[in-house]
Structure 1
Amino acid sequence: MKHRYLAFIIALLSGAIITLLLIPAHLSNKQLWILFFVTASVIFILVWVFNEYIIYRDLNKLDLLLKKLASDPEYNKIDLQSLKLRQTQDLATDINNYFRTKNILVDDLLKKSDLRKQFIADVSHELKSPLFSAQGYVHTLLDGAIKDKAVRDKFLKKAARNLDYLDILVQDLLTLSQIESQAIRMLPEHFDIVSLALEVKEDRESRATKAGVTVTCNFDEAPSIVYGDYTRITQVLTNLINNGINYNKKGGSVSIDINEQKDGVLISVIDTGEGIAKEYHEKVFNRFFRIDKSRTMKKSTGLGLAIVKHILENHFTRINIDSELGKGSTFSFKLARDKVSTSEQV
């Protein structure tokens, strides 16, 4: 009804203005009144038709669109061609885009909320196991077992082992969190990847010897210069070699292969361990993922490969896996030789 009142007021004002303008034409009062009513009526009809069938019809369709989008985020059936004015077509497009963007953001927030809840649950579980174990050993000692030297030494070693695992877990959590939040920034430089691989091999040999595994390093040429964060690539190789040792068998081997390629240097860590079934190839890079949690709880924190994945993504490259159950695994990634080609890595 409001648009009719508006049309009526516009018609009266327009009729009055036109009549006043024609007064100097020496028309009679009757003619002026007839002119006023005819002019006002014509303008009223024109304004009413324009409002009713163009402006308000478009606004009603926009109102319907808003109500539908509010109740059903997937609704997107309005025909833009049915809107008469270009401005209302643009507005309808903007409304659709706004709701689409909003829904994407809401879905993203919900996904992040679910991931946060799952992460908290996983962290709680991972922290609880070594903490409760160490607590149990300490309480057993306090209850009187401390008097027996053999039992005391045995339980203290087990408690220390659990606390060491807890320390590694917390450090890995902090590292992963800092990388994901970009609190740790990559500091790229040119360095010799062969020299780095030999250092990591030497550092891991003691652990490998205890596990009955040999670690070797094979390369095409030395030095082999790459561009990346020396400290973080050290962490990548360390985690991959640890993974190869942890899930290997006595008499098995882990080798670091460095191959020169046209578009960079390919680094592969190959082990003769248990292997990974194809359905788990993507999942092994998830935080806390373990194929057999009962057997691998003390082998690793379940964060090593997740850290590897994030570090390499920050180097504009990715970690690849080639593995079959019972046939060992190969984890490989490529590093650029210089800064120019780093952004071209996929």
Structure 2
Amino acid sequence: MASEKRQRQRENRMRAIAEAERAKKRSATGRTVLRVVFVVAAVLIALWLWSVFSGDDAADSDSEIDEIDVEAPEAAAFETAEPSADTTSPRTDDEPVSTSPSADAADAVPSEIPEGCPALDGTSERVIDFDTRQPMCIDPAASYTAVFDTSEGEMRFELTAEATPETVNNFVTLARWGYYDETLLFRTDPSIHIIQGGSPHTNTASDPGPGYTIPDEPQFEVDPNTANPIGPYRYRPGQLVMARAAGFNSAGAQFFITTGTNAALLDSQGTYVVFGQTDDAGLTVAEAIIGLHEPGGSLGGAPSRPVTVHSVTIETDALGR
């Protein structure tokens, strides 16, 4: 019996030892698993952090590229908007006006308004007094039409910019300054078939003018008997003509419109520069105005009722001029 008892005790000790060994192994395995879990977790956390910070850097890089792409065109546009030397240098009387387009004219941005010139659409603040004559604001190779909006109707005059560039430039520029707005056609004279206007200060022939005079076109010859100028112009109905004083280069801003054949009586002088021609519709309006003639005064008379030039607007095919 004692022997069986010892045998059982031995077997129990062996089972206890075996169980202890198994428990030890399980504990070691558990620690290994935990270490693996910790390592994997650390790797995953590191990968996540790397992706986060790497993504922020990429976003910052894209933002900088976008900023450069936006600023570059703005800077280029600013550079191309700078006025060229040709548009700011003063024009001398003898300086030829270039009418030939540059090689890249088709692709060029329209040139800026030359310095000292009014807005092309007539929106500049009105000016009727000037220190010097107008700068060259037109392109003499282009076509210009002066549209007279009067209380008696509209008259359209095709201007002769190529033949008389100084005169047309002066008239177009004054019109864009609003010089002729709300002025009167203050004189009618059927004896020479003219209507006269262009005097914003006084609405009379004695108006002081814009403050300067313009050169004759062309330069006139001298009458050997009177020393007065002799010009080449001949006068027909429907013309837009510059008024002037007796001397050379004496025109300023006043103009007259020829309405009939009696205007040819001025041919012997020929010094009133013709710079525009109206059509049949415009001539009809001009004839109606001189039909209002009432004799009186030293200049022959005036319309029986006020005839107002509300505005003179300019139409052109010129680019930026």
User: TM-score, normalising length from structure 1?
Assistant: 0.24
Structure with the greater relative contact order (CA < 8 A, sep ≥ 6): 1 or 2? 2
User: TM-score, normalising length from structure 2?
Assistant: 0.25
More helix by share: 1
